[in-house]
Each structure stands twice: as structure tokens, then as C-alpha cells.
A and B are shown apart, each in its own frame.
Chain A
Amino acid sequence: MQNPELLKKPGLTLADRIDRIKSKNSFSLLFPFIVLVFIVLLFGVLTKMEFYKMSVIISIFNQSLIVGTIAVGVSFIYSTGDIDFSVGNVMGLAATIGALSYQFTNNMVVLIMVTVAVGTLLMLFNCTLSLIFNVKSAMVAIIAMILYGAITTELVGVDTLKVDYILCRALESDGFRYVSFILYFVIAVVIFHYTAIGRKLRFIGGNEECAKQSGISFRKSKYIGFLIAGIGVGLAGVFQIARSGSVTSSVGSGMGMDVMLATVLGGMSIFGGAKSNAYSGFLGALTVSALNKGLLMVGISASIIQGVRGLIFLLLVFLNSERPSTLPSRQQF
């Protein structure tokens, strides 16, 4: 008589099926989009369609614009395995110097150019400290964060640097922000995904030694990555000035963490590699913004929103990452 156990066909358990789905490349690409769509649908139902009003959609987009712009640029840094959470303070200092230049010249073009230039130069300085002086990027980020914050405080003091209201209205309402963001976003995505520089950056993030041995110019690639990130940070500085019409000593403080949060939530590993992408930061920023807005509209208090955001963040990251057999660690300091 045959053993009934042997007659059973071998099958996959639920855990095996989930692991198979998670291991597919398309899963890590699609999962953040699915999450965003789910959040939008959920809050649409919970708020009885109030969530789909044009004013709400525009508000979500506007709130995610600054963090999203920085996150798009920072993806060029994260893709190589480096970390830089001083981007908020870089943006703050760039906005401060831009506002000061406007006060001297009364010229909008000068404001935009100076802000973008300062943002780029500061990011290139961070890159130099990391590449030429061999200080680990995370340590450079910590030191730069506090240094730039201190310089901003010294320049601004207890006052607020005000920028002409008419200028800010012009920057906000004449489509400058949207056009420049879309232009930067498209260029960044094209460079990251369709050019050799993007492939090199991801190669460096995947295996640095292998990339060097393959003849990739390590320093040149990283400098280009930081340059592109710097342009994004500078642009975000212009958006910040346009949004608030003034610069205070705490501008950009803590934004580096928000950028990291948005980038990871958008599906990108902060340790970079082949699975990196340029749009995850903006996607994550939209997700965070939609989540905040939806929770507020549903009536949850601001302090609880943060806790809910933290839990959802951890859950989504857990669902979107592979579980290694040993503990993840990396010497970043």
C-alpha cells in the first residue's frame, strides 16, 4: 500500500510564494507605486472623496516638492552607497546666501543662480572631504550638518531674512517651480537610468572594488553624482525661499532625515546598488505628504500622525526588503 504522504504533490507554502514575489525585480519597482495608490484610495474612502479635491492634490504636491527635489538629487549619492543627511542644512545655507544676494542686488536671476551655485559648491565640498581626505561620508554628513547650520545661524542671527513678497508670488504662481522641478526630474531620471554615468554610479554602489577594477573613474563618477545632487539642493533652496518668503536660522534643519525617510519609503536602499532609482525619493515624498494630509483630514492629531508614519514606514520597508541570513551592518564611520 502506498504512503499517502508520498502521493501529495510538492507545493509552495505561502511564505515561499511571498518570497518569490519579493525577489522579482518588478516587485521592488512597483511596490512603492502600489503603496501610494493604496493610500490615495484608502483616504479617498475614509474622507468621503474630499481627498480628491484639486486643492488637496495641489497641496500634497506642493508639500512634497522641496523634499522631493532634494531626494531626486540625493539618489545619485545614495546609489553609490554613500550617505549624506546634511542636505537640509546645505539647502538652508544656500537659501540664506541666495536671500542675502537678493537683498544686495534686487535681482531674481541672481538669487536663483547664487542659491543653486552655493548648493552645488557645498555638496562638492562634502564630496572632496569624503574622496580626497578619506573621511567616511556619514561622518562628513554629521560634521557638515552642524557646521552649515552654525554658519546659517551666524549669517541670519535672531532676525529673519525677508525676500520681496512680489518676487515670491512670481516664483510661486507663474509656474516656475513646476517647470523647473519637472525639468530637473526628467533630466535626473534620464541621466540616472539611460546614461553611462548612472550605470557607473549604480555599479560603484553594488561593488566598489569591482567597479574600480573595471576601469570606472571612481572619483569622477562620485563628483558628478554630488554635482547633480547639489543642483537639486540649490533648486530646493529657491523653492524654499519662494514658499516662505523669508529665511530663518533653522531653515532646512532636520530635512536631511526627511529626505532619507522619503528615499527609503520610495523603495530605494540607502546602501545603493543596481536596484537604485532616481524617482523613489519623489515618490516617497509624495507618499509621506499624502499620508500626513490624509491622517489630518481623518482627524488624527499631529503627534499621533508621526507615530503612525513611523510604523507604516517600518512596515513598508520590511515588506520591500529581502531578509538576509546574517544581520545587516556596514562600517559607515
Chain B
Amino acid sequence: MKKNKIISTALSAAKAISIPIIIWVIFEILDRAVTGLGVINTVADVKTLLRNLITSYAFAMAINANLSGGRMDLSIGGQMYVGVIFGGTLALNLGWGGIGILLCAMFIGGLCGLLIGELFIHIRILPMVLGLGMTLVFECICFAINNQQGVTFFGKAGTEILSSVSFIIIVALLLLAVTTFLFQYSSYGYKLRAIQGSQKLASDAGINIFSNCVFCYIIAGVLAGCAGVFETAYKGGLTPVLGMGSSGVVFTNMFPMMLGIWIGSFINNTSLGILVGSLSIRILIIGLSRLGLGTSTQNLLLFSMFLVFMIINTNKSKIAYRRARKKRIALAKKTRADMAALEEMPALQN
């Protein structure tokens, strides 16, 4: 029994890790055939992959923190901007270096999450609507801070650590460990799953749905701040935007999140699944860019694949039903043919 469980766990893990490997193999073949270069060719490519991976992973986790509860928070991008610009500026002025910037941005992001969470539980308007309104406010705040200049990490002392591969891996593993514990093994995680089942029943059972909701928003804000720091370190700086431009970051990270949730269903660990999903999408994006395709063509291909994935994922029970039905019909036909053959045999003998 225990042996079977170990084998099935190993198989599930193999299934999960095979997805980024398959994507890598496909694009390795394609890229070498078209351009002569592989997906990953130099150490710089590995660094780029990891830097984008941590950003994508943290954002996808931030979206998932609320989305699984039926709350689409469009203000995560705005929280990221406030966290990075305000927290980053503060840490740079105090000379706290890269780790200080990260911690400050996560703290400010968490405060933004707390604000939205508190607003949500008190005014109780639809989360998407609240997210829209708060995006406008956060973007306005970012413009006001630092005389509309945003924040620049390029050339600033102490920020080199944010580009360090070992630091990125440590942060990614820490995020994985903390989010796995929080969502899978802590009482917060159990209560969250109970609320996802039925808010009313969970509330009647004594779970405080309001504090749980606020905690979800805080976690989302912290993760958004973390993602924003690495993204800003990669790009060199972050300038504020207006007109809800910050909400775009939510949409571009939906594919890693949805793929990650699907992968996480094999291994019963959404956090790890989202990490593997983010890795898969980053390899896919690098593979597409190696083919020499423009950004819009890459987006076209990427989101077409996303659409196909969503169609298959949404209809998998129908697909499984149709396959089973085909098998049953084939079996029925075969049985009928066998029975007809058996009936003919005595007639022939006679």
C-alpha cells in the first residue's frame, strides 16, 4: 500500500516536471533548426530565465491568493507599483541595499493589501470593482511619490544582489516553502479551503471569513511587492503609469497561474505547480523569442496556446466522457459481432 503510494507520488511528480522539459525539448529542436541556437546557450540566458521566473512566479501566486476565493483583484499591479516605488525609494535613501529594498517593498505591498482587504470587508462592493477603483488611486499615489520619476535601481549600491542567481534561487525556495506551508498545512490554509467550498457554511462553522479574506489580500500584496522588486531590478527602473496601465501585469501572468494550478493538481501542491507552470511559460517565451519573432507575434502564439489550453482544461471531463463512450460502443460492437459469429456456427455445422 505504502509502496503504491510512493510510486504514484513519483509518477505524479514526473508528470509535473515533464511539462517544462517537453516544452524545452520542442523549442530546442525548433530553435536549432531555424536559427542554429538553442533555448539556453550561455550563463546570461540562465540568469535571464531565473530573473523572469521569480517575477512571474511571485505575481502568479499573488493573483492566485485571491482568485481561488472568487475574488479577481485587478489592483495587484497598482500595489506592486506602490510597493516598489515607495519601498524602494525609502530603502535606497536609508542605504539598506538590495535585501532592504526587497523587504521594504514587500512590507509596503502588504500594507496596500491590508488597505484593500479592510476596504473590501467593510464596504463589501464587488472585488473587481474595488480593484478598478483602487488601481486608479494607487497609480495616482505613484505619480505623486518622487516627483513622477519612479525609482531606479540601475547603478545603485547594494542592488547587485537582486540580480544574483543564488539569491534569486534562495528567495524562490523561501517563497515556495512559506506559501506551501501557508496554503497547505496551516490553519489559515484549511480555513481558506473551507471558505472556498461555501462561505456561509464556513462562517456558520465558526470560521472568521473576514480576517481570512484580509490575510489573503495581505499575502497578495507582499508577493506583488516581491515580484515588482525583481522585475525592476531586471529592467533597471520603474516609472509610474496612469490610465490603469498597471492592470496589464495581472493579465500577462494569468497563463502561468492557470497552467500552474493544473500542474499542481497532479502533485497536490498549488505553490509548486505554479512554480513549474511559470518555468514552463518562461521557457516557452524564450523559445519563441529565439525564433526571431516580434513581441506581438509572440503574444499571438502564446495566448493562442493559452486559449487552446483553457478549452481543453475546461472540457476535459467531456473529452474523457467521449473517449469512454467510444470505448463502450466499440466493445458493444465487438461483443455483438462475437455473438453473431457464435450463432452462425451451429447453423453452419447443421
Contact = CB atoms under 8 A, between A and B. Distances in A.
A328 B72 contact: no
Contacts of A326: 199-200, 203, 209
Scoring A136, A146, A309, A332 by chain B CB atoms within 10 A of each residue's CB, the highest score goes to A146
Given A310-B136, A329-B199, A264 B311 contact: no
Contacts of B126: 269-271, 328, 330
Contacts of A328: 124-127
A324 B122 CA distance: 10
B213 A150 contact: no
A149 interface: yes
Interface string A46-87: 000000000000000000000000000000000000010000
A329 B70 contact: yes
Contact of B71 (A257, A260, A261, A329): A329
Interface string B69-87: 1111010000000000000
B297 A150 contact: yes
Given A139-B254, A150-B300, A306 B242 contact: yes
A304 B74 CA distance: 20
A138 B139 contact: no
A110 interface: no
B347 interface: no
Interface residues of B, number: 58
A306 B124 CA distance: 22
Nearest to B257: A333
A151 interface: yes
B307 to A, nearest CB: 5
A223 interface: no
Nearest to A328: B126
B163 to A, nearest CB: 28
A307 B245 contact: no
A83 to B, nearest CB: 8
Interface residues of A, number: 52
Given A142-B254, A329-B127, A261 B132 contact: yes
A117 interface: no
B140 A307 contact: yes
B307 A257 contact: no
A271 B126 CA distance: 9
B244 interface: yes
A106 to B, nearest CB: 28
A220 to B, nearest CB: 21
Interface in B202-229: 203, 209-210, 213
A249 B296 CA distance: 10
B141 interface: yes
3 nearest interchain CB pairs? A307-B140, A310-B136, A329-B70
Given A151-B296, A258-B244, 14 more contacts: A135-B311, A143-B303, A147-B303, A149-B299, A257-B74, A264-B129, A302-B242, A303-B144, A307-B136, A308-B140, A318-B125, A327-B209, A331-B70, A332-B70
